[in-house]
Structure 1
Amino acid sequence: MSDALFNSRRFRTLNIIDDYNREAIWMEIGLSIGAMHMTDLLKWIVKERGKPKAIRTDNGPEFTSSTFTNWCHKHRIEIRYIQPGKPVQNAFIERFNRSYRTEVLDARIFNNLIEVREITAEWLTQYNNERPHESLGNLSPMQYLLKKENSPKQDSIIEFPPFQQNFSTSTTE
């Protein structure tokens, strides 16, 4: 997703959530988030959290690039592309993006990326640790995970948002 700073400079966010407990695993904020940068983030996430069974995303250029597809193939991670124009197939991230847009991006005017990152980090902590989710029995993602820690975890699927807008500093979003 994208927004603009006070000076009209566009920036992007790459939001990564886990289907299992709706946890926002990572939110990358920058002027440009290309396939190589995104793949480096995924390497770090896999190292820290383990490998997902699949990654669900749209058909944006970062996700159809050989950098991304080769990395997924090498690590035996299935890529699940949604059909164009079918955001309901990526419902969890769409709902997450709507909350983030309403509660953070539309609620403030940011002067720089540092401000965006700081406010986002605060919001993310609240989202993961305190915010109840009806689909999780009114528990936060972390509460749900702790409750289920003695239960076998299903294979996780990482979701990415659809890319829909054009930017001068990056590829189509």
Structure 2
Amino acid sequence: MQTVGDRSERKAMIETRHPKLSIRKQCKMLGVNRNRLTPKQPKTNREDLEVMKALDSIYTECPFYGQRKLRMELHDLGFKIGRKRVRRLMKIMGIEALVPKPSTSKPCKENHIYPYLLGNREIREVDEVWCADITYIPMPKGHAYLVAIMDWHSRAVLSWEVSNTMDTGFCVRALRKALVSTGRKPKIFNTDQGSQFSSAEWTDELKKEGVRISMDGKGRWMDNVFIERLWRSIKYEKLRLWSYHTVGDLRSLVADWMEFYNHRRKHQSLDYATPWSTYSPPKQMAA
């Protein structure tokens, strides 16, 4: 292992579950300050966590709600808070209304934004388009984030990762895992314009594979609906029925459900086939 690339690239190379090398050893070999390895979570108090848990429940049910309606729903539940606080908590959670809107989103100014390539395009084949998204997961004493890489046509989840921070590194790990575990790559990779997906760490991985990069803009705003359905399903069918106290507990529950979703859950849109049988990669999905 050599000290190569800039600091962000070296940080992305660190594997939290490496079979032989500890995180401390990897940091030393790569010249990375361990104290700066993982960004700190935004500070949240107990009341904020309760509000965020309620927000997640409302948003999972109604992802098209904006700040005003979310605040009204929270008021109905007894949380008397203002729109600024709702906006702040939504930012921590990484959520926004899934509706068509003016060009008011604010991706990271330092990152390059790529054009939207899917306008009026029918996705008819596996590996034609992959996509990725992140969702917020409430925890008893904090929160975590789940990212998934999905094949657009088959709806198969090709890889996923859990992290207690919404950094770029865990998204890049999921991307690398999808490429390695399937032995394939898409023609186009579509995401939103979030800082994780517009970062050089993420886009450089795709460029290296010769994958065209597409980012949602004013195009088909409904493109993200099916992955929102994935989030709704895993939360209602698994996470809200089981208790979990650590990221490790959460990771085990996600692994169980993803196995069920890919290999046993039949989809009407796939003529009642499963996502994995439709995708049929040469290797098994990496958990």
TM-score (norm 2): 0.46
Structure 2 contact 239–253 (Cα < 8 Å) conserved:
no
Structure 2 contact 136–146 (Cα < 8 Å) conserved:
yes
The amino acid across from 2:197 in the alignment is F
- In structure 2, what is the equivalent of residue 38 of structure 1? 171
- In structure 2, what is the equivalent of residue 107 of structure 1? 241
Query: Aligned partners of 2:171 and 2:279: how far apart in 1?
Result: 26
Query: Aligned partners of 1:138 and 1:128: how far apart in 2?
Result: 12
Flag the 1:87–1:117 CA change in 2: closer, same or farther, 3 A: farther
SS in 2 for 1:110: coil
Cα distance per residue 1:109-164 (max 9 Å; x no partner): 42111211111111111111111100100111123345xx8xxxxxxxxxxxxxxx
Structure 1 contact 6–109 (Cα < 8 Å) conserved:
no
SS in 2 for 1:52: coil
1:76 to 192, 204, 210: 210
Report the count of equivalent residues. Answer: 146
- In structure 1, what is the equivalent of residue 3 of structure 2? none
Query: Aligned partners of 2:257 and 2:235: how far apart in 1?
Result: 11
Structure 1 contact 30–113 (Cα < 8 Å) conserved:
yes
1:96 Cα deviation after fit:
1.3
Query: Aligned partners of 1:72 and 1:25: how far apart in 2?
Result: 15
1:62 to 193, 196, 205: 196
Flag the 1:109–1:39 CA change in 2: closer, same or farther, 3 A: same
- In structure 2, what is the equivalent of residue 118 of structure 1? 252
Q: Gaps spanning 5+ residues in structure 2: where?
A: 1-134, 282-287
Q: Gaps spanning 5+ residues in structure 1: where?
A: 150-173
TM-score (norm 1): 0.74
Summarize the alignment of residues 122-141 of structure 1 with structure 2, pairs less than 5 Å apart: 122-141=256-275
Query: Aligned partners of 1:22 and 1:5: how far apart in 2?
Result: 27
1:83 Cα deviation after fit:
2.2
Structure 2 contact 163–170 (Cα < 8 Å) conserved:
no
CA RMSD of aligned residues (A): 2.2
| Structure having the larger proportion of residues in strand | 1
Structure 2 contact 161–170 (Cα < 8 Å) conserved:
no
Cα distance per residue 1:2-46 (max 9 Å; x no partner): 122112x11000011111311111221110242233223322321
Query: Aligned partners of 1:142 and 1:67: how far apart in 2?
Result: 28
Cα distance per residue 1:31-86 (max 9 Å; x no partner): 02422332233223212322211211111110111221222223221122112796
Flag the 1:125–1:82 CA change in 2: closer, same or farther, 3 A: same
Query: Aligned partners of 1:143 and 1:71: how far apart in 2?
Result: 27
Higher relative contact order (CA 8 A, sep 6+): 1
The amino acid across from 2:268 in the alignment is E
Deviates more, 1:77-86 or 1:102-111: 77-86
